[in-house]
Amino acid sequence: MNSILVSKLKCFKRVSSLIASAAKHLESLGYRQGTIGNYQYIWKEFAQFAQKNSGEETFSTDLVFQFLDSCGISDKVETNMTLRQRHIRNVMHALTDFALHGCIQRRSHVVAKTRLSDNMEEALSGYEHFCSEQLWSPLGTIRSRNRDITRFLHYLNSHGIASVKEIQASILSRFVTSCAHLKPATIAHLVSSIRSFLRYLYMTGGISINMAEYVPKIRIRSDAHIPSVWKSDEVDALLPAVDRSSPCGKRDYAILLLAVRLGMRVSDIRNLRFENLLWGQARIEINQAKSSEPLALPLTEKIGNALIDYLRYGRPASQLREVFLKANAPFMPFSYNNNLHYIITRYRRRAAIKLPAQNRKGMHSLRHTMASRLLEAGVPLETISGIMGHISMDTTRIYTKINVEALQSVAIDPEEVTHA
């Protein structure tokens, strides 16, 4: 199965001829000329991107990922994107579908508008309740798996399967193959969620055969990805780009400081509450959303001042305990699936920071940058692991793959963290 996926993940065709064929296919499906023209406009932008970045018009899924990333777009089903970004993602998914399958499929987020059968709804609801009761994983993880499984169930529904009892090995293989346009790590996450769901169904009698054993295995090396890091001048340019005179700017500046100087995960920044701020001890103490493990970080003077500035002069009046709230009414905390990508993208563009196309550009890249800076400064891996809140040292060792001698200083003083 893996060889099939690998062959489909790389698709080599001339972009110009692919676009022409895809446009004719849309016409055969009854699309209006105006809609086809809108598709072709985005595809032309992609063709120009391909020519500029690869020097040729050769289509590949990797090139699609780079193009989407250059537009600030993730391949996840639910992300915070503008209407234009959603349109670009959908149009590029259509082109990828045509390149891989010779037809344009309906995306899972479109199919998801149709109702699942009662049997599937009951199975999905039972799985989520079971995971919550058994404390298998944090709420964010359960919801993430729920989205993956929902995607799978809608695929089954679109292929005439109305009951989980009808799931067979062949449909599992076909579903994984249909996801070939996604990144390998995304496919691996989907497969893991489905395997967990099928294992639950077997344990609770929902299916008579353990179909989890028939889910294709997608092997992704844990150290295959070299973390993307920012250069010193790039980080130095990011923070001053924030307009700290506005309430929104005060909030965003404090958020970026927590990511840049402490390497906090987005989930922990979102969930930060007043009781986590121990002002008298100059510490931030949290239970990490990802692992539920406790983590203590220094509440430095610079971070403290930024938080105070936001809380006094920027935060909307509210009884909510979450520190960071949305800037527009209703003034609520960020949703659990908000990756705050638009915040870092806004100021990166305002500072005219040009990162390599293959680099990840989200908030997590600032976390990678801080860890890499500590490593360059000679801080022991064990200490870095503790600061980052890693459960396994294997996760921390990924940073040793980076050529630390080539790294520049970024926005953290190692002494500030390690001796707090």
Q: Select which of 154, 250, 265, 315 is catalytic.
A: 265
Which DSSP category does 76 fall into?
Answer: S
Q: Which of 75, 105, 135 is the last residue of a domain?
A: 105
The answer as to whether 134 is a domain residue is yes
DSSP readout, 314-373?
A: TSPP----BS-B-SSSS--BPPTT---HHHHHHHHHHTT----TTS--SHHHHHHHHHHH
Concerning whether 129 is annotated as a catalytic residue, the answer is no
Query: pLDDT (tens digit, 9 = 90+) per residue, 51-78?
Result: 887 665 678 877 888 888 888 886 554 4
In a shared domain, residues 272 and 405:
yes
| pTM exceeding the 0.85 threshold for the entire prediction | no
Q: Select which of 290, 350, 360, 397 is catalytic.
A: 290
Q: Which of 105, 130, 147 is the last residue of a domain?
A: 105
The answer as to whether 227 is a domain residue is no
In a shared domain, residues 193 and 53:
no
Q: Which of 160, 181, 214 is the last residue of a domain?
A: 214
Concerning whether 76 is annotated as a catalytic residue, the answer is no
Q: Select which of 89, 93, 367, 368 is catalytic.
A: 367
The number of distinct structural domains making up the chain is 3
Percent of the chain with pLDDT over 70: 75
Element (H, E) at 277: strand 277-278
In a shared domain, residues 252 and 347:
yes
Query: pLDDT (tens digit, 9 = 90+) per residue, 22-45?
Result: 998 888 766 788 889 999 999 999
- Compute the distance between CA of residue 420 and CA of residue 417 in angstroms, rounded to an integer: 5
Tokens of 210: 């353990």
The answer as to whether 219 is a domain residue is no
Residue 23 belongs to what domain range? 2-105
Query: Which of 362, 389, 395, 393 is closest to 297 using CA atoms?
Result: 389
- Confirm if 332 and 284 have CB atoms less than 8 A apart: no
Radius of gyration of the chain (CA): 23
In a shared domain, residues 195 and 269:
no
In a shared domain, residues 242 and 390:
yes
- Confirm if 178 and 155 have CB atoms less than 8 A apart: yes
Tokens of 271: 């969930």
Instruction: Please report, for the domain that includes residue 127, its CATH number.
Output: 1.10.150.130
The answer as to whether 226 is a domain residue is no
Query: pLDDT (tens digit, 9 = 90+) per residue, 95-140?
Result: 988 887 677 765 444 333 457 888 999 999 899 888 877 655 566 6
Q: Select which of 89, 364, 368, 373 is catalytic.
A: 364
CA distances from 178 to 9, 98, 120, 255, 337 (A): 11, 12, 20, 38, 24
In a shared domain, residues 253 and 324:
yes
Mean pLDDT of 161-180: 91
- Compute the distance between CA of residue 262 and CA of residue 299 in angstroms, rounded to an integer: 9
Q: Most confidently modeled of 41-50, 182-191, 271-280, 353-362?
A: 271-280
In a shared domain, residues 399 and 270:
yes
Element (H, E) at 297: strand 294-298
Indicate the residue type of 165: K
- Compute the distance between CA of residue 277 and CA of residue 275 in angstroms, rounded to an integer: 5
Q: Select which of 261, 348, 373, 390 is catalytic.
A: 390
In a shared domain, residues 252 and 354:
yes
The answer as to whether 222 is a domain residue is no
Query: Which of 331, 409, 416, 317 is closest to 372 using CA atoms?
Result: 409
Concerning whether 367 is annotated as a catalytic residue, the answer is yes
CA distances from 310 to 234, 315, 341, 355, 364 (A): 24, 6, 20, 29, 22
Query: pLDDT (tens digit, 9 = 90+) per residue, 241-269?
Result: 999 999 999 999 999 999 988 888 898 99
In a shared domain, residues 123 and 243:
no
Concerning whether 390 is annotated as a catalytic residue, the answer is yes
- Compute the distance between CA of residue 85 and CA of residue 88 in angstroms, rounded to an integer: 5
Residue 298's pLDDT band, with cuts at 50, 70 and 90, is very high
Q: What is the residue whose two structure tokens read 């060889």?
A: 3
The answer as to whether 379 is a domain residue is yes
In a shared domain, residues 263 and 354:
yes
In a shared domain, residues 35 and 137:
no
